[in-house]
Structure 1
């Protein structure tokens, strides 16, 4: 026997994390299902390059720096003499990651690419690669995207654009161009301020107020671009702001006419008397636009993200839309931020599974009687990973499907001949896209984000004690940080109960509810009728299940449905996932995708357990699910 010490004995060989574009079969399936062949040809190389870049040493160095050098208020918000200053300081890593995301068009890809309805799935597939490496800079990106879409809607919709003054058009267009810029020195992120002490997602008791004071605003303008700050004076207190370093924000405030209204406001203004901390006049003369940072939040996760409590004192801004229609306007942003949250969830799970797959290739365990085996040879470990991978497949299909419906709602045009029959089967009718999106963003965020936390915990558990460590020495293995950050996703942009409540109310809405019900029924029916290269069991009939569920939704009141809101949302989610899995498997007859489809039906009790096969065959089937492809193709990878 030979004893070990700190520098001798056994050392585990580190796993190698592969480019997800090639390593993750689920990513590949979504990439080729929701993008037509001609778009895949144009973007595949660039997307693969992004898959490599997000795993670079530089990116992970920025991540580690952003975690070690958390945002703070200089002097705790006041100078040495007690005067309020409120200068927010962020670290080099955070700024580097922000610049990386802007330069790679994480938001811009949804606006400046020529792919029409496919711009959104293309954008969100790229975000799926990026989020797990970005230390939460995609949170400001989500609100940046939402603000850009809100402004774009008002600038490009004739009925809305006609109501804008020349000055408003100039202001909104200026902000929009900053929001979709790929130049980090010119690009803006945006805040989204709704939450107050009176409630989280419930904004009905908002205490922030806005008063129209155009004469005061006339003298206030930006030094650099000559853009007026806005004729509204906004005052109040915002309890959460997760993009405190942004250049603009969208917020809710109550006006004298009653009801909540939506405002856009720059975060900074020009002050000719502004000085640096040493008393020297500031070259740019910039100060915060009536915003005082009360304090930064101390959170369980997302610690690199500057989240603050904000006092608003004569913040100048612009009304967007009609007074009293604030909830309607903000819904445009919520559609985007909820999809971003959902993509973040599958990004974390995808990365966690990638780490677990890589670890299983190099980790050996006892096999009895002194023998050793890799985790890839463990029937139990592979069965566990196969179950997790199968669940991930359904969650990601639903997520990218939702982004595709968003794209169709923004670019309502007939599909071209290059689109596959499988994609046509999961494409809603143009008249249904908006109605489907109204309920799909709520459903998808709730259905995906909640189980993602559990799945990511299982990824952490798959590494044993190493998974629980904050592995900043090898940041690419830091599943514990991903788990901590992922845990917020079922909470912000609407908790699971809030989303379930909104889902029921949307389905029962007297004006739009029937349209959403028709849209759901149509997409389930169209997908179920897809004639592909695989079959389905006779016991599975999603159209019949939907009709039963729809009848209940129609016949019962909101009050009667509300106690079962989660169950109803999950039932609809199960139906959508089942038809997406069916179409995905049937488009090419892929045996592994067919297996995943049957596993889903088996887990829901729709089909009975399959006949037992040999242990070695069961292991081979599980390995094929975990690593993708036929067993003969996988053996060389292990």
Structure 2
């Protein structure tokens, strides 16, 4: 048979050149010099050297491991061929390798290295996690929960415990030995769940002896279920069947020590999620789980609140790094792809689109570093009363603000690739799917907005702290010789005055009827807090040594070409507005016969 019958297919001579990834630490326009400004010279040298090396490891090794986690999703085998219950969770080798890597690289341990200055270790850890996340195959989730567990142990004074079981757990959570290190789960969400953790908890604890209990319940959404240990909440029931009103915190081993047998746990099913598919998330039945109470009885919510700042910071790391990662790829792709006779970066509209994304990414990066810096100050005991109030206010703002931006940001950047951004085998679509979890995990935008309002009500000094912080950031720029910077300062000061007036003119009330005024405007105020603070940070960044023309233009574009306040008109927050919202949504459904014939979507 003629050889020509087996010739290679002729598909034309053109192929699309893929975008290139680079050292993500060196490729960031503000990371290195901001760290240089915030850290002492010896700490900067140590931190910068490690981040540079780690970024190269991400390019050479970690990125491909993360991609394989996306391609090889976890599986749950509930029964074997003979009907025996096995609850075998199968994850790919690359997933386990990445977990070993984040232990070896000290992504947890760095944040708790008591031999270092607290600010330095917190900034080092924050940036390293941010660099890791886009390539990590979602192992950043167990990383965040493990960090939260360590934070909880320390808040409860357990870092110095002599209890063998708890001491081993604490040491293994912090271990940099990839073979010895443990990860932790956080099992808080139940069927009625969401952010109302206390009201929705239907897990019960029966006392055995001492601090030992048996847990029974159903955890509806439990991520990284391959963890070694977990922290969970439950309601203690006494011998007479009386339930505690308040929840307690419990520590448990996922598997019975020294065995592969689950500790009274059945894995019911893995969640079929929009994104984060690399991450094994399951529904768990707790049936006589052996556990130990941590902290005081009925103080479980207070105990886990200690980890909130940490997990919110890690969430912001994920949002900011997702913005930066796909933005860098879109920028590089624009220098390689041609359309209508020009490279994409030579078309003004395409260039403008990516530049606007850069403005937001840069602002959010500075916001992330600022909050990490202040958290470090707080951990060191050097923060003032105002700085402590500021960090309590701005940590939920950071999480909510960056999470709200990341989804449209990634969507816009994906569009910059045209059809290739829609092709699964390009590896780009998963960025958008995974980004959607950010505004949901650790509290939705509305939940965090209400938390911000609660802080303003219970800690009125937080409003003063915010006003002082923004003023301190922009005041040195008033003497700038660059008119763009002076005009930007004026814009921020005007917005600050109006925002602070709005914050002080309302009183937070938690009940629905009385709280309509402030609750309706909570999101508007929270997002304005983020925009004004980011504007101040961009101005401050532009006046430091090493600043360049790009920094001036970025500050000007953010502060002068965008609305820093949004809609803060008091009439938009009142009871009348709330009634109008209800009218818009439900007026056409009132007393309509067809409303009685609805079908649950589970039946469609």
The normalised TM-score by structure 1 is 0.80
Give 2:109's aligned residue: 108
Give 1:471's aligned residue: 425
Distance 1:61 1:386 in 2: 28
Give 1:548's aligned residue: 501
Give 1:626's aligned residue: none
Distance 1:546 1:527 in 2: 16
Q: Secondary structure at the match of 1:192?
A: strand
In structure 2, which of residues 407, 431, 442 is the aligned counterpart of residue 493 of structure 1? 442
Distance 1:606 1:436 in 2: 19
Q: Secondary structure at the match of 2:527?
A: helix
Question: Do 1:30 and 1:396's aligned partners in 2 also have CA atoms closer than 8 Å?
Answer: no
Is residue 583 of structure 1 aligned with residue 557 of structure 2?
A: no
Segments of 5+ residues of structure 1 without an aligned counterpart are 216-229, 271-283, 367-371, 414-428, 473-477, 608-638
Question: Do 1:64 and 1:93's aligned partners in 2 also have CA atoms closer than 8 Å?
Answer: no
In structure 2, which of residues 191, 202, 205 is the aligned counterpart of residue 207 of structure 1? 202
Give 1:259's aligned residue: 246
Distance 2:418 2:564 in 1: 34
Is residue 134 of structure 1 aligned with residue 87 of structure 2?
A: no
Question: Do 1:578 and 1:600's aligned partners in 2 also have CA atoms closer than 8 Å?
Answer: yes
Is residue 235 of structure 1 aligned with residue 216 of structure 2?
A: yes
Q: Which has the higher contact order (CA 8 A, sep 6+)?
A: 1
Segments of 5+ residues of structure 2 without an aligned counterpart are 1-7, 238-243, 566-604
Q: Secondary structure at the match of 2:85?
A: coil
Is residue 60 of structure 1 aligned with residue 63 of structure 2?
A: yes
Question: Do 2:107 and 2:125's aligned partners in 1 also have CA atoms closer than 8 Å?
Answer: yes
Give 1:310's aligned residue: 284
Q: Secondary structure at the match of 1:20?
A: coil
In structure 2, which of residues 462, 465, 489 is the aligned counterpart of residue 519 of structure 1? 465
Q: How many residues align?
A: 538
Is residue 570 of structure 1 aligned with residue 527 of structure 2?
A: yes
**Displacement after TM superposition at 1:89 (Å):** 1.2
- Structure 1 residues 318 and 603 mapped into 2: Cα distance closer, same or farther (>3 Å)? farther
Give 2:590's aligned residue: none
Give 2:55's aligned residue: 51
Give 2:486's aligned residue: 536
**Displacement after TM superposition at 1:65 (Å):** 2.5
**Displacement after TM superposition at 1:286 (Å):** 3.3
Question: Do 2:252 and 2:292's aligned partners in 1 also have CA atoms closer than 8 Å?
Answer: yes
Question: Do 2:182 and 2:227's aligned partners in 1 also have CA atoms closer than 8 Å?
Answer: yes
Question: Do 2:508 and 2:515's aligned partners in 1 also have CA atoms closer than 8 Å?
Answer: no
- Structure 1 residues 143 and 605 mapped into 2: Cα distance closer, same or farther (>3 Å)? closer
In structure 1, which of residues 153, 176, 184 is the aligned counterpart of residue 178 of structure 2? 184
Q: How does 1:15-26 map to 2 (within 5 A)?
A: 15-26=19-30
Distance 1:293 1:576 in 2: 44
- Structure 1 residues 156 and 521 mapped into 2: Cα distance closer, same or farther (>3 Å)? farther
Write the deviation string for residues 390-423 of structure 1: whole angstroms up to 9, x where unpaired. Answer: 011111111221222221121123xxxxxxxxxx
**Displacement after TM superposition at 1:504 (Å):** 1.1
**Displacement after TM superposition at 1:150 (Å):** 0.8
Q: Secondary structure at the match of 1:152?
A: helix
Q: Secondary structure at the match of 2:381?
A: coil
Write the deviation string for residues 497-529 of structure 1: whole angstroms up to 9, x where unpaired. Answer: 1111222122212xxx22323332332232232
Question: Do 1:155 and 1:172's aligned partners in 2 also have CA atoms closer than 8 Å?
Answer: no
Question: Do 2:491 and 2:559's aligned partners in 1 also have CA atoms closer than 8 Å?
Answer: no
Give 1:618's aligned residue: none
Q: Secondary structure at the match of 1:236?
A: strand
